[in-house]
Amino acid sequence: MEQNRPGFAVAGWLSTFMLLGSPAFGETTTDHIDLPVPVMAGPLTFPDKPNAVDTDLAGNWYVDGVISGIGLLQDHTAATDRSALTDVGNAQIIVQKLDGWLQFYVQAGAYGLPALGLPYSHVVSADTTWHNEFGFVPQAFVKLQPTEAFSVQAGRLPSLLGAEYTFTFENLNIARGLLSNQGPAVSRGVQLNYALQDVAFSLSLNDGYFSGRYNWLSGAATWTIDHDNTLIFAAGGAIAPTDIATTATPLVQNNSSIYNLIYTYSSAPWVITPYLQASHVAAQPAVGIAGGAATFGAAILVSYAFSPEWVVAGRAEYLVSTGRPESGAANFLYGAGSKAASFTITPTRVLDRYFVRADLSVTGVTGKAANAGFGRDGTANLQLRGLVEAGYVF
């Protein structure tokens, strides 16, 4: 029936979220609260005073969300893509409980996951991004907090790996970058967290790239050097091979190991995050990986706030893969041995809870396999892309 089309469902969610975002919906008068999840790199933030619902016996539940639309222009489109389009960026609601020994987090709704160097996958279509990736509830977990220093989380968890996060509203730029595309975004599993003075540790047994096979170990150590400086070492990898291959679960990456070294300087008006990344996969013919290969990459993310309303962010990155196609080496990028680079600039205008921002990016590839580049025939080496996202955070 007509009303079952995705567009009608999204419209219904949008209207509901607007009502939740209004002051009439239990807006708390408590002091500033920093929501630990989702992590927000900026420039977008949730309100200082989150919407709170007092449930009496169960304490305060905080309700937040984001609504946004996306417009895109690009050249050298793939056969499955378009050169111009509009779409829903986010129509998500977040409910969480932050106090007591039993806590929880639920994030639900529709979302787009634009990424550099990959065809755009539509949210409002019969073949939706959120359905093919992580479903209508992409992140949800319970958290047991027996002490201030120790906690256990279980459910659909944000990845411990990488310097960029899953959803557009969490990052400095709208689209995720080339290095970020190599890592997992959401994993199902169990995670242990322990804080020891200035260093926090996390260890997770999970299903890697959302494979449904719990054969990945991930860990991270975060050193808070001082108020302005942090250093993170993160690593993860498959402890057993699997032949799962879906939109959310790329075969090569899901059988690989990946390592990050991430430094962040954050002192107004600057946020500067340079980081290094490496990954490796061994030959595993039983699951369809004939030869091993590796990647090595470096990136820098920079943001400068000219004022509370105007922020400009930039990202530059370079990623190299090893191996030769004729040797059967695994393909991490655009063919074994290919290299890719990108540059993105993102000006953002924030007015109260409303925002509008734009990504202007160029992505280039060298050493690609035949017909593995950009364009309908895969022969182009460059892609220019413009993204605009406008919305409301509540």
Only one residue has tokens 């959302």, namely 210
Radius of gyration of the chain (CA): 21
What pLDDT is stored for residue 130 in this prediction? 60
What pLDDT is stored for residue 53 in this prediction? 81
Q: To the nearest whole number, what is the mean pLDDT of the chain?
A: 89
DSSP notation for 59-76:
-EEEEEEEEEEEEEEESS
Give per-residue pLDDT as tens, 166-195.
999 999 999 999 999 999 999 999 999 999
What pLDDT is stored for residue 325 in this prediction? 82
- Find the distance separating the first CA and the last CA of the chain, reported in whole Å: 33
Signed CA dihedral, 139, 18, 125, 182: sign only: negative
Residue 269 belongs to domain with CATH number:
2.40.160.10
| Number of domains, the chain | 1
Mean pLDDT across the stretch 229-243? 97
Only one residue has tokens 């899901």, namely 254
Give per-residue pLDDT as tens, 22-68.
333 334 434 566 778 898 998 999 888 878 887 777 778 999 999 99
What pLDDT is stored for residue 133 in this prediction? 86
Confidence grade of residue 249 (pLDDT, cut at 50, 70, 90): very high
Give per-residue pLDDT as tens, 320-358.
999 988 888 999 999 999 999 999 999 999 999 999 999
Tell me the residue range of the domain where 97 lies. Answer: 2-393
Give per-residue pLDDT as tens, 280-309.
999 999 999 999 999 999 999 999 999 999
Cβ–Cβ < 8 Å for 160, 202: yes
pLDDT at position 1 over 90: no
Confidence grade of residue 271 (pLDDT, cut at 50, 70, 90): very high
Of 60 and 389, the one with more pLDDT: 389
Report the alpha-carbon distance of residue 295 to residue 291 in Å, rounded: 14
Instruction: Give how far Cα 165 sits from Cα of 72, 112, 173, 176, 254, Å.
Output: 21, 13, 10, 8, 18
Give per-residue pLDDT as tens, 194-226.
999 999 999 999 999 999 999 999 999 999 999
Give per-residue pLDDT as tens, 76-86.
999 889 999 99
Task: Name the percent of the chain lying above pLDDT 90.
Answer: 79
What pLDDT is stored for residue 121 in this prediction? 83
Give per-residue pLDDT as tens, 127-165.
555 667 899 999 999 999 999 999 999 999 999 999 999
Confidence grade of residue 253 (pLDDT, cut at 50, 70, 90): very high
